[in-house]
């Protein structure tokens, strides 16, 4: 567990100590960033990118990389062709699978970092929630989907002010995972429905689907191609996640009480509400509902700092932040330990330095 602890507490230390801004040049344009941001970004990217067989799908993506690199982009037809092309290009430039995971980790962390930096009122709180509430760990499992989730998290700022640009980014994200396309009808509904109608109709949809939607979801998964790409699993009896409902319900309630009259908060609360609707209404899809809800629940990283900002008094605000960090630390341990029983392989953490130095398997991985 110590690598995860180092990242978690290292992030807190970075934001508390390293406030100095660093100026650098990109394509002739001067940019600046806080040293705390740079150090935290490097730490999280390195831990995710240099992992070895951490995450349930690690071997699957290693095999995809090897197959696409050696046999071409026509391999693995069930994987989005755009993702196969990206994997093929990475394989042509870099020699082995380790760089492949490092580049994907870099993309995920880059878009999350940009989204938090541009939209959050308290970056430290957002990053702590990102790691402590499990987003960081799930990104090690659903790799290509989380590239799409991270891209759309960064693109949230365009939902209100430039929806056409948002749709273009959705199409780009669908290159990595087709489920990103679900955000286009979702945002249309958010824009067209007034608040009262939106919450009533979507809430009614969730309840009806929970009790009577199993057969409909099974039919859609069997006959509608894009929905089968989102589902990818057999429809089962509804299974609600108490932790997801508790977290989402708490964030929505706090945001509604403290921040609902603020500019830009309307669509944030709608995103949060849709996460709850998916947790309930698509419960027959099991873990797939949670995976689809990530597109919406990532907004927690923005709403939680907004709520804390509304607390009057520096002492009370610091106490709330400390409590939140303790909760995130406990929940991070829960996610890692739960991953042992579900085969997600978060623990023990192994880096590429612990990879076998010889043998046929190591030769296959190294050669891509």
d(CA 251, CA 303): 7
Q: Are 149 and 335 in contact (CB under 8 A)?
A: no
Q: Would you state the pLDDT for residue 368?
A: 46
Contacts for 94 with CB less than 8 Å, ≥ 6 apart: 100, 103
The string of DSSP codes covering 19-86 is --EEEEEETTEEEEEEHHHHHHHHHHHHHHHTBSS-STTHHHHHHHHHHHHHH-TTS-TTS-HHHHHH
pLDDT score of 77 more than 80:
no
At 42-59, the pLDDT tens digits run: 889 999 888 888 877 788
pLDDT score of 216 more than 80:
no
Return the DSSP state at 285.
G
Provide mean pLDDT across the span 75-89: 81
Q: Which of 193, 154, 189 is nearest to 170 (CA)?
A: 154
Return the DSSP state at 178.
G
Q: Are 39 and 342 in contact (CB under 8 A)?
A: no
Task: Kindly state the tokens that stand for 13.
Answer: 């230390």
Q: Would you state the pLDDT for residue 13?
A: 86
Q: Are 116 and 148 in contact (CB under 8 A)?
A: no
Torsions phi, psi for 60 (to 5 deg): -60, -45
Return the DSSP state at 284.
G
Provide mean pLDDT across the span 171-185: 88
Window from 7-21, 35-49, 161-175 with minimum mean pLDDT: 7-21
Q: Are 288 and 227 in contact (CB under 8 A)?
A: no
Contacts for 13 with CB less than 8 Å, ≥ 6 apart: none
Higher pLDDT, 199 or 343: 199
d(CA 328, CA 8): 9
The dihedral region occupied by 345, where left means phi > 0, alpha psi between -120 and 50, and beta the remainder, is left
Q: Would you state the pLDDT for residue 154?
A: 94
At 239-283, the pLDDT tens digits run: 556 777 888 888 999 888 888 887 778 888 988 999 888 888 776
Summary mean pLDDT of the chain: 80
Return the DSSP state at 237.
S
Provide mean pLDDT across the span 97-108: 88
Residue 31's DSSP bridge partners are 24
At 306-353, the pLDDT tens digits run: 999 888 777 888 888 899 899 999 988 888 887 777 667 777 787 777
Task: Kindly state the tokens that stand for 234.
Answer: 């057999």
Q: Are 117 and 145 in contact (CB under 8 A)?
A: no
Q: Would you state the pLDDT for residue 168?
A: 93
d(CA 282, CA 284): 5
At 340-362, the pLDDT tens digits run: 776 677 777 877 776 654 344 44
Window from 25-29, 300-304, 323-327, 350-354 with minimum mean pLDDT: 25-29
Q: Are 106 and 147 in contact (CB under 8 A)?
A: no
d(CA 23, CA 173): 30
């Amino acid at each position: 567990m110590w690598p995860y602890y180092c990242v978690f507490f290292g992030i807190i230390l970075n934001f508390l100590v390293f406030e100095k801004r660093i100026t650098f040049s990109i394509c002739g344009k001067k940019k600046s960033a806080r040293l705390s941001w740079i150090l935290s970004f490097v730490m999280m990217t390195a831990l995710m990118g240099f992992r070895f067989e951490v995450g349930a799908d690690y071997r699957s993506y290693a095999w995809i990389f090897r197959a696409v690199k050696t046999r071409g982009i026509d391999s693995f037809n069930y994987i989005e062709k755009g993702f196969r092309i990206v994997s093929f290009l990475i394989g042509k430039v870099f020699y082995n699978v380790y760089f492949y995971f490092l580049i994907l980790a870099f993309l995920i962390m880059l878009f999350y970092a940009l989204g938090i930096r541009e939209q959050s009122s308290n970056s430290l709180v957002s990053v702590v929630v990102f790691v402590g509430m499990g987003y960081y760990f799930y990104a090690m499992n659903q790799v290509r989907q989380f590239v799409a989730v991270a891209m759309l998290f960064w693109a949230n700022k365009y939902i209100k002010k430039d929806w056409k640009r948002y749709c273009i980014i959705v199409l780009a994200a669908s290159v990595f995972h087709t489920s990103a396309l679900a955000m286009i009808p979702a945002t249309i509904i958010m824009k067209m429905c007034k608040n009262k109608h939106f919450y009533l109709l979507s809430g009614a949809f969730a309840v009806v689907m929970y009790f009577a939607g199993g057969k409909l979801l099974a039919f859609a998964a069997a006959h509608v191609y894009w929905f089968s790409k989102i589902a990818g699993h057999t429809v089962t009896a509804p299974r609600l996640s108490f932790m997801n409902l508790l977290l989402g319900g708490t964030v929505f309630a706090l945001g509604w009480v403290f921040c609902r009259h603020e500019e830009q908060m309307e669509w944030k609360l709608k995103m949060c509400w849709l996460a709850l609707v998916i947790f309930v209404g698509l419960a027959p899809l099991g873990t797939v509902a949670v995976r689809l809800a990530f597109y919406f629940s990532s907004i927690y990283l923005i709403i939680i700092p907004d709520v804390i900002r509304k607390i009057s008094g520096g002492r009370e605000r610091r106490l709330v932040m400390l409590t939140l960090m303790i909760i995130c630390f406990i929940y991070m341990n829960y996610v890692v330990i739960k991953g042992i029983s579900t085969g997600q392989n978060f623990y023990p953490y192994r880096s590429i330095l612990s990879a076998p130095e010889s043998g046929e398997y190591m030769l296959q991985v190294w050669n891509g």
